[in-house]
Structure 1
Amino acid sequence: MVSAILSKEPWLHDPLVHDLPWRDAVYGLAKRDSAKLTFAVLRDDGVVTPNPPVARAVSIVVDALKAAGHKVIDWTPPPHKDVNDIAAQTWLFDGGKDVHTAFALSGEPPVPQVEWVYGKEPSNEQSASTIAAVNVAKRKMQKDYMEYWNSTAELTGTGKPVDAVLAPLAPFPAARKETYRYVGYSMWVNLLDYTSVVVPVTNVDKSIDQAYKDFSARDETDKFTNDAYDPEIFDGAHVSVQLVGRRLQEEKMLAVAEYVDKVLRRK
């Protein structure tokens, strides 16, 4: 589908689309060399703890990759809280005016999660200087994260950085009504302009995925996310993970995701 869309040369109709046709060579190379891939795993972003079934899904993939002969290192990048803080600031550059204007068209009230971020009405818009400073911080974070990714070449044993990062997509297996309070596990991918592909792994099993005992929360959001998990309610829900690649690596990451899916199905 991606190849079909790109064959229509959308960059000739949208100035924000990269002039970048589908690269069969990149996709083919990734498929051919899939047995040589190296991975990193981010089990916890240091902000919100993944629920038990999400943590189990990540471990399932790590174990399968290691069994297939791949090296999997720990991913310890610049603090994701700092990445998230920069991203969150961009949401409110206009004080939420655009969001509230959109809701006003129908008179529909914002759902609680939207109101939680943007308030009941627009707030003050940010100054040009503030916006510029946030963009400077964003570029610095992109550079810092890039250099960290480059540094993993010293740990992979191949002389090259990791090919993909395995991570939760969200700290919970599914979004219960009014409990989707944390988006940090996808926010870092968006801010850094990375490539992410989601791979289904397992289902919640209430006999295995019991709630944590003596859980020590980092903050209120971490506590809320943990408290919202109920193995009885979530039993049978799908659990997926994401595989993250660098910027503009869509072809490579699709091939990597296909390969990881095959590795998981061999079990």
Structure 2
Amino acid sequence: MIAKEPDSTGLEGWQKIHAAKKAEQEARIPQQWKLKPEDFPPTGTVDLRPVVASCGILSDRELLITGDQYDATSLAAAIAEGKYTAVEVVTAFCKRAAIGHQLCNNLTEIMFKDAIEDAKRLDKVFRETGTPVGPLHGLPMTFKECFHVKGYDASNGYISRTFDPSTRDTPLIELVKSNGAVVIAKTNTPQTMLVAESHNNVFGQTKNPVVSHLTCGGSSGGEGSIMAYRGSALGIGTDVGGSIRIPAAANGVYGYKPSFGILPMIGYAASGWMGANTGVPAVCGPLGHSARDLALLTRVVRNAQPWKFDPAIIPKVMEAGTQSRKPVVGVIRQSGTTPHPPVRRAIKEAADKLSAAGFQVKDFVPPDFNDIRNVTRELFTLDALSYQRGQLEKAEEPVVPSVEKIGFWAIPRKTHEEAWALNAKKLALQKEMLDRWQKAGVDIVVAPAGPHTAVLPGDWTTDMYTVAWNAMDYPAIIIPFTKADPVLDPKDTEFVPMHELDEQIQSLYDPQLMAGAPVALQLVGPRLEDEQLLKDAQTIDAVLNA
């Protein structure tokens, strides 16, 4: 156990470790990439992204490389044709990530020095052979904190797991590196990994660069934040209740939660008991700057035949081919709780746009998302969070407010019989969803990403719009669509709550506070039809975001 007694600085044991990790981060950012005091925006600045251009750290060419002119797909093509070297691309993104981190605190393990050396090796191969190493050649990538990179910590925000470097890379990281990707950093997560926030005692709290006073979401919140700052070309998060999709929605980027068995998780740095299966399996997936970026990453990983090293991966299911089609679209307008006005507007506008473009659009009513959430929150806490409690106790570190607020901390341990009954309830809900889907005759569903846009830090406590699809094991993709607008989205003066939770959620809505917050759509496909959903998402995105 780490000693709690304060030292001469007045810091307790866990605080000293926090200070040491922050000092380590600071030392890994080159001095010439550090913001001067005058570069920081005034207190209260909402959008932090313009600082990257005003601070002068990136050249015009580096701003072009990292700007929204490129997604990962087009940037990889530009590198492959020799327009840019891997070193200049990786350096540009490392600089931009450094600025984003100084403003938003979204990185954990910073790997800029090693990344540039990796890029030099890629350039050497390209000069000697005239061909890229693989389809991700030179692409700067970030990974959520819960993956192993040899020589760097995988603390997952636990004080007790700091300064214990990994001795190997997670196989997925080995895979993307072998295809030419360059890993430049890992990104921040919440304490316990079970919260739609990104705050822990090791690294602190991450900001949303688009609306800095609102949450970046979680648990892949650092990933969502750095993607929104364009400090990474392509990222990887994990998702068991919305942990890719909530940050993607909150920060206005693209994100994909696959079906279980599509992308490999083996060898990652778990934040709970290894081998624990709650009945809602965790998956990993990409966050990117376009719908086709999500397909690119998935295609590269699947082409490497990951079922040969991860026994959980299902072979051939993604290799059956796809149709070019206008899918029949089911629309979920609400379930479990009433969405805030900007979310309701986004769903209506999307349905109208798709209908006008010739898609068959019909309302779809799923099983009550509140019922699904009530099952999953019990499944997530079968052991009363014994692993998480044990890690905090080792270092005598406190529980952060967002972990207390989500309510999981107080849920008691379940018996085996109670666990079996919960899994039976989940199976019955899966059967009900399947029957409703087939009866409705829909190919995909468009649904809210959450009952609201980004809210104040710690206030995203209801994951029912995302966790429903984890429980069903259906693939889901986040597409940014519009922004909250106080003029278009006034408070609903005629709102009548369905229940107490509905009233609590609606009370969070403040049109001025949420002005400019990204509003995203969630596209959902049938279980294991991921390849078709990825194609349909590109088709729909082209209509909605033309």
- Confirm or deny a common fold (TM above 0.5): yes
Contact in 2 for aligned 1:68/1:263 (Cα 8 Å)? yes
| Larger relative contact order (CA 8 Å, sep ≥ 6) | 1
Contact in 2 for aligned 1:179/1:225 (Cα 8 Å)? no
Further displaced range: 130-139 or 17-26 = 17-26
Q: 1:76-99 CA deviation, whole Å, 9 max, x = no partner?
A: 222222222221220121112123
Q: 1:152-211 CA deviation, whole Å, 9 max, x = no partner?
A: 1xxxxxxxx211111101111114212112110001101000010111110111111111
Contact in 2 for aligned 1:38/1:164 (Cα 8 Å)? yes
The number of equivalent residue pairs is 249
Further displaced range: 91-100 or 59-68 = 91-100
Further displaced range: 47-56 or 105-114 = 105-114
Aligned partners of 2:358, 2:536: CA distance in 1, in Å?
15
Instruction: Give the drift of 1:131.
Output: 1.2
The structure 2 residue matched to 1:41, chosen from 331, 334, 359, is 331
1:10–1:108 CA distance, 2 compared to 1 (3 A):
farther
Q: 1:212-259 CA deviation, whole Å, 9 max, x = no partner?
A: 114322233222221211111111111101011111121111111111
Q: Would you say 1:75 and 2:75 are equivalent positions?
A: no
Aligned partners of 2:314, 2:391: CA distance in 1, in Å?
28
Q: Aligned partner of 1:138: which letter?
A: K
Question: What secondary structure is seen at the aligned counterpart in 2 of 1:248?
Answer: coil
Question: What secondary structure is seen at the aligned counterpart in 1 of 2:502?
Answer: helix
Q: Aligned partner of 2:509: which letter?
A: Y
Q: Aligned partner of 2:481: which letter?
A: V
Instruction: Give the drift of 1:105.
Output: 5.0
**Partner of residue 131, structure 1:** 419
Q: Would you say 1:98 and 2:98 are equivalent positions?
A: no
Aligned partners of 1:229, 1:222: CA distance in 2, in Å?
12
Contact in 2 for aligned 1:165/1:243 (Cα 8 Å)? yes
Question: What secondary structure is seen at the aligned counterpart in 2 of 1:235?
Answer: coil
Aligned partners of 2:478, 2:488: CA distance in 1, in Å?
23
Aligned partners of 1:262, 1:5: CA distance in 2, in Å?
24
**Partner of residue 248, structure 1:** 528
The structure 2 residue matched to 1:84, chosen from 337, 356, 373, is 373
Q: Aligned partner of 2:464: which letter?
A: G
Contact in 2 for aligned 1:173/1:238 (Cα 8 Å)? yes
Q: Which blocks of at least 5 consecutive residues in structure 2 are unaligned?
A: 1-296
Q: 1:86-132 CA deviation, whole Å, 9 max, x = no partner?
A: 21220121112123234445544333342242326xx6432211111
Contact in 2 for aligned 1:57/1:202 (Cα 8 Å)? yes
Contact in 2 for aligned 1:113/1:180 (Cα 8 Å)? no
Q: Would you say 1:8 and 2:304 are equivalent positions?
A: yes
Further displaced range: 206-215 or 164-173 = 206-215
Q: Would you say 1:227 and 2:523 are equivalent positions?
A: no
Larger radius of gyration: 2
Instruction: Give the drift of 1:5.
Output: 1.4
Contact in 2 for aligned 1:181/1:225 (Cα 8 Å)? no
**Partner of residue 25, structure 1:** 321
RMSD value over aligned CA atoms? 1.9
Aligned partners of 2:529, 2:300: CA distance in 1, in Å?
17
1:201–1:225 CA distance, 2 compared to 1 (3 A):
same
4+ residue runs over 6 A deviation:
none
**Partner of residue 210, structure 1:** 490
Question: What secondary structure is seen at the aligned counterpart in 1 of 2:330?
Answer: strand
1:190–1:102 CA distance, 2 compared to 1 (3 A):
farther
**Partner of residue 143, structure 1:** 431
Instruction: Give the drift of 1:6.
Output: 1.8
**Partner of residue 196, structure 2:** none
The structure 1 residue matched to 2:461, chosen from 181, 197, 207, is 181
Contact in 1 for aligned 2:317/2:528 (Cα 8 Å)? no
**Partner of residue 112, structure 1:** 401
1:55–1:102 CA distance, 2 compared to 1 (3 A):
farther
Report the TM-score when normalising by structure 2: 0.44
Aligned partners of 1:66, 1:201: CA distance in 2, in Å?
16
Contact in 1 for aligned 2:455/2:514 (Cα 8 Å)? no
Q: Which blocks of at least 5 consecutive residues in structure 1 are unaligned?
A: 153-160
Q: Aligned partner of 2:407: which letter?
A: V
**Partner of residue 260, structure 1:** 540
Instruction: Give the drift of 1:48.
Output: 1.4
Aligned partners of 2:521, 2:302: CA distance in 1, in Å?
26
Instruction: Give the drift of 1:58.
Output: 0.6
1:118–1:103 CA distance, 2 compared to 1 (3 A):
farther
